[in-house]
Chain A
């Protein structure tokens, strides 16, 4: 079943909270993973893998580099979800 934008943001916030310990309310569309949320490149991989499982999408390594903000990730997942 396709997820809505709100559901994806909420799910990502849970994932970022679990992996990087960032409060869920801080995970907003305009936030940069590295600059605002302090999610480093390795944690980003863990976030991506968790998101793949949760939203049933494939996010290849080459595409991970393009996901600068939470909004980028939400858009990517909405576009590619099964």
Chain B
């Protein structure tokens, strides 16, 4: 987890295109300036960053389902629950499943666990649009290497269509 660069996901552990779900891991750093302010003498991971971690995890699933043709952008966060604290040094396991694929948008459900204990969860809506420029796509492809994106898991035809109803 590189908080300074807003890169919250360390690695993709499992990607199941057929089941439309992904599992990723993210190691919360033991020390960071964020913990000096949140909170002095009682460092905990900010809930907004946990939501961002769930969003980024969801993003990898949606990029995979669209075969790197589209970029998801955060549109809405619902039912976000911070169930118990996440501490410096915790290893997050984040499971995401696709709730709905719409035309130009998608909804996911994400759960963050530490040592198999559910710490937070959310339902998240994304606008899913073609990459706005080649630079961003190139950046995401480079990031994919960093997180161990399993390209072999992507079939030749996209499971997410744009406007065709899913039968």
Chains A and B belong together in one complex: no
B-side interface residues toward A, CB under 8 Å?
none
A-side interface residues toward B, CB under 8 Å?
none
